[in-house]
Structure 1
Amino acid sequence: MSSALTDLCRYPIVQAPMAGGASCPQLVAAVSEAGGLGFLAAGYKTADGMYQEVTQVRGMTSGAFGVNLFMPQPGHADAAAVDVYRHQLAGEANWYDTPLGDPDAGRDDGYEAKLAILLDDPVPVVSFTFGCPTRETLDAFARVGTYTVVTVTSPEEAQAAQYAGADAVCVQGVEAGGHQGTHRDDPETDACGTGLLALIAQVREVVQIPMIAAGGLMRGSQIAAVLAAGASAAQLGTAFLVCPESGANALHKQAMTNPLFTRTELTRAFSGRPARGLVNRFMREHGPYAPAAYPEVHHLTSGLRKAAAAAGDPQGMALWAGQGHRLARELPAAQLVEVLNTELQAAAATLALRGPA
């Protein structure tokens, strides 16, 4: 285990790895320099692109940081359903004057190449989303001193991660923005996610390894609540998305507190996997018809999303956001970490004064 993370409680504030550009080296380094745990998102990047970002972070901070990997996805998508969705999106392609992407552009996200790099040149922490690595992979990271975290959305997934040898689990409640990190994508469970506090309690009953809590957290008082519930740390994504260091598109940042966007929903419209975002035109028109086909739908809509951003049209973008998005504060990352820590300490003191019920 990495000497930097022998005690996860030293890093109660974790910046979530947000694929798509938000979790850029500047944000990660700023969070780590401020005493939090910054996280790069390797998803949708090439192995070399990931390595270059790791190098940049190392040049900007001596603090601990992590890298998040997407697990390869099984090839079970219904090709006919994907083709039907392609035809449905033809109007969007015409509107944004851009071709639809190739749904067969790849399923493994360069996983093996990224593993090889991170094992050859280790970072303090590596986390995994959309599944659990093999024991051999987790043991290999343990041998090079890397702390491993597996994202889970149920007690069963948490048990599997502990059994495989993960150092910790990131317990993701249904409130979380972006993709739900389920290990098995089952359309019948799309509306069956568990709230974070209930999920922490359930996972705490079945595993002994540390938990990082994730899902809609925006204030220090919420961090105090999940720590009191049994988590060792709290992971925040949407809270950091609006920071000036974040690489998120300006339209995405502005949408977090724009009164035009009043609520979030889970949708398959943009990627074929359930993901929480601000409800916009694209989600309303296409969400009900999007097939369970990740990453095929992600590849299919990639050009559309980029074209919408280039056109300044947030109604065609994937505006990933947690349920607490209206509480977003446009603060520099280091200042946000400081404010969250202050709020956390105040809330913890209040809890201590109240004592047991």
Structure 2
Amino acid sequence: MAPELRFAPGRAPRLPIWSAPMAGGPSSTALLAAVGAAGGLGLVPAGYLSADAFAAKLDELEAASDAPWGANLFLPGPPTADPEGVAAHAAALAPLAAEHGVELGEPRWEDDAIDAKVAVLLGHEPAAVTFAFACPSSELVGRLREGTGAVVVATATTPAEAAEATAAGVDALVLQGAEAGGHRGAFVDDRAFPGGGELVPLLELLRGARAASPLPLLAAGGLMDGAGVRQALDAGASGVQLGTALLCTPEAGTSDTHRRAILDRRYAGTTVTRGFTGRPARGLANPLALAYPDAPSAYPEVHHLTRPLRAAAAAQGDPDAVHLWAGEGWRDATEEPAADLIARIAREAGLA
């Protein structure tokens, strides 16, 4: 029997289904409210937002929905040790940026305003706070738990990371299988691996993490229907996190260019690339994703470098030069309303 996730009174979602925190647009307020209304838990992505914008996003969601919600924070890594690699990547991308009528951005390191965003959360009552890109310190875990009453959750991609996060005192783990779309949550981006570390399939990761940790586990990666959700729950997950399954719902803030690339099956499959942001991320295998297998490990420096190019490509309807994050189950994405999708998956998984 999977361990139970213990939420503060009145903050437990009706269903063990969370929406992945898809930063940069897809996790719109409309999507999170729809997920909450359907009985799931919508996660507000703080990534890429200023602290003030993050606070406004929380206020907007609380005004739109009385359902429980959670939030996700990016934990900063060190500045890049490869400035020469970043400069070479910029030189390679400059002609493509010019073709799209823009100049590349200035590569720079930042901590994503983590302290200010924690302070914002301390003024709210989230059901859960999740972390990505590193293991939170035990001090930060305790401060958020005591200050908000939230379940504090780390994202792990290997059994070793699951054990490390458990030792830090988190309450639960999101296990990001190899199939998952978007940025890999590896604690350290190891250049020896295309995925920043070992790419462990979800069911194998569930088995390994269960041996390494007694905590409740949330399964993420390639889950597109109730059969997959039921398989994850039967393998020991206490809940699941859906991302790609929600990308093409009407409520999602996914760009038209991204949405059409998925629904039109424009590309043959997915790949993991550092070419867009300097951190491994799984997306559709478009030309830019495939063109730079040796892109530097330099997040967020490369993210800031390529941002004008990616924004221009999206606005111009050019899917070949924009990040199209998607998991391996992307071919099963539908356009059904989010509440209908959650209800269908819950029914298929025997949760309704």
Give the TM-score normalised by structure 1.
0.93
Pairing 1:247-266 to 2, within 5 Å after superposition: 247-266=253-272
Contact preservation (8 Å) 1:217, 1:223: yes
User: Among residues 309, 313, 318, which one is paired with 1:308 in the alignment?
Assistant: 313
Report the structure, 1 or 2, having the larger helix content.
1
Residue 189 (structure 1) shift: 2.4
- 2:169 equivalent to 1:165: yes
Contact preservation (8 Å) 1:85, 1:289: no
User: Among residues 310, 317, 320, which one is paired with 2:322 in the alignment?
Assistant: 317
Residue 4 (structure 1) shift: 3.9
Give the TM-score normalised by structure 2.
0.94
Residue 5 (structure 1) shift: 5.0
Residue 72 (structure 1) shift: 1.1
CA shift digits 1:171-210 (9 cap, x unpaired): 0001000011000110112253000000000000011110
Matched residue type, 1:327 = D
After the TM superposition, which segments of 4 or more aligned residues of structure 1 sit over 4 Å from their partners? none
Percent identical across equivalent pairs?
A: 43
The SS at the match of 2:293 is helix
User: Among residues 100, 104, 116, which one is paired with 1:100 in the alignment?
Assistant: 104
Please name the residue that 2:114 is paired with.
111
Please name the residue that 1:352 is paired with.
none
Structure 2 Cα separation of the partners of residues 279 and 190 of structure 1: 14
Please name the residue that 2:25 is paired with.
21
- 2:132 equivalent to 1:129: yes
Contact preservation (8 Å) 1:179, 1:275: yes
Structure 1 Cα separation of the partners of residues 93 and 80 of structure 2: 21
The SS at the match of 1:252 is helix
Contact preservation (8 Å) 1:213, 1:234: yes
Please name the residue that 1:355 is paired with.
none
Please name the residue that 2:279 is paired with.
273
Pairing 1:318-357 to 2, within 5 Å after superposition: 318-345=323-350
Pairing 1:1-357 to 2, within 5 Å after superposition: 2-4=8-10, 10-104=14-108, 106-144=109-147, 145-190=149-194, 192-285=198-291, 287-345=292-350
The SS at the match of 1:282 is helix
Contact preservation (8 Å) 2:156, 2:162: yes
Structure 2 Cα separation of the partners of residues 130 and 11 of structure 1: 26
Contact preservation (8 Å) 2:118, 2:144: no
Matched residue type, 1:44 = Y
CA shift digits 1:113-146 (9 cap, x unpaired): 0001111333221100001211111111221311
Contact preservation (8 Å) 2:271, 2:290: no
Structure 2 Cα separation of the partners of residues 4 and 138 of structure 1: 21
Contact preservation (8 Å) 1:5, 1:147: no
Contact preservation (8 Å) 2:80, 2:299: no
What are the ranges of 5 or more consecutive residues in structure 2 without an aligned counterpart? 1-6
Q: How many residues align?
A: 343
Matched residue type, 2:245 = A
Contact preservation (8 Å) 1:77, 1:294: no
CA shift digits 1:136-174 (9 cap, x unpaired): 111112213111111000111111111111110000001
CA shift digits 1:208-260 (9 cap, x unpaired): 11000000110011000000000000111000111111011011112113232
Matched residue type, 1:19 = A
Please name the residue that 1:353 is paired with.
none
Structure 2 Cα separation of the partners of residues 271 and 127 of structure 1: 21
Contact preservation (8 Å) 2:70, 2:126: yes
The SS at the match of 1:120 is coil
Residue 22 (structure 1) shift: 0.4
Matched residue type, 1:268 = R
Structure 2 Cα separation of the partners of residues 218 and 342 of structure 1: 13
